[in-house]
Amino acid sequence: MFAPSLRKLGYNNRIVAVVGATPVGINLLKGFMEEPWLGFVVKGIYDDNAQIDLDGVPYGGNLDALIHEAKDGRIDRVYIALNMKDEAIIKNVISQLTNTTCSVLLIPDIFTFNILQSRTEEINGVPVVPLFDTPLNGINMVFKRLEDIIVASIILFIISPILIVIACAVKFTSPGPVIFRQIRYGMDGKPIKVWKFRSMSVMENDSSVKQATKNDTRVTKVGRFLRSTSLDELPQFFNVLFGQMSVVGPRPHAVAHNEQYRSLIQGYMLRHKVKPGITGLAQINGWRGETDTLEKMEKRIEYDLLYIRGWSIWLDLKIIFLTVFKGFINKSAY
């Protein structure tokens, strides 16, 4: 716990250098310079092109200078941030650095993409870096499914009297079915039927959709209360038990919205790398309800992808806990 303080004072620091005046390399060193508690003293960028604008990051010299200083023990860590097209240079630098005591770290330029995962895998001895993949593989998938079954079962047991009361209220206050089933995209973009208590006198379920708006005449009196409190979504815990949804995940959007926004928002369809959820990171941060502008939808997708990148059981439990206090009531839900 004292390490950051000691590093700020100049103790226990490591001298770092970057090979390659690329945006990734420059940003990495700028981060080290701005956060001294990380314990890195920046030696500079090493590149054979000395004329590149380094945006305030010091220029250390050419690649020969790097190798010379590394062999002299004046550099502790070397980050290689060259582009893939510079494979021959990368191999040469790595080969020469094997004759030093430097720690050598490679930053593939695939990380300039807005990727979902940054882990590495090995298949038959071949290293593989997933770019767009679900975090719910292997044991993570088992843990997530157990979490869904346990949480959904407990909640359904607790709210069963509420479900009966709501069902009666919907049935006796307006004509039509109690449960409305909507087609949504599930994991991997496969269509699923999502359950909700009917809150409108007329409900769309086709290739075009009109979101509920303030004072929408289609919304029943009971439905308005259900929508504003998210109680209309309680039947979705059955979707969770059936394995179509998760308790926590990106909210399922109408099929028409997917077709509309997938061409407008980069990475939109990546939200389908996990099951849709009853609540999510976007919802506890205030981004639920009507998405009547592109900016609102972009913000929701930003949180959805942030959730997928940082997924853990603990994050799910945190979202569930916060949903109880701030996720149910929302003035933007009509």
The structure tokens listed for 273 are 């790398």
Per-residue pLDDT, 176: 85
Per-residue pLDDT, 311: 93
DSSP class of 98? T
Low-confidence residues of the chain: pLDDT under 50: 1-3, 5-7, 334
Cβ atoms within 10 Å of 4's Cβ, excluding its own: 14
Per-residue pLDDT, 107: 83
Per-residue pLDDT, 110: 67
As assigned by CATH, the class of the 3-112 domain is alpha beta
Strand order in the sheet with 59-61: 59-61, 40-46, 14-19, 77-80, 103-106
Per-residue pLDDT, 11: 52
Q: Which residues in the chain belong to E strands, given as ranges?
A: 14-19, 40-46, 59-61, 77-80, 103-106, 121-123, 126-128, 179-185, 191-197, 246-248, 277-279
Q: Could you tell me where in the chain the CATH 3.40.50.720 domains are found?
A: 3-112
Per-residue pLDDT, 139: 93
Degrees to nearest 5, angle at CA 285 with 280 and 286: 100
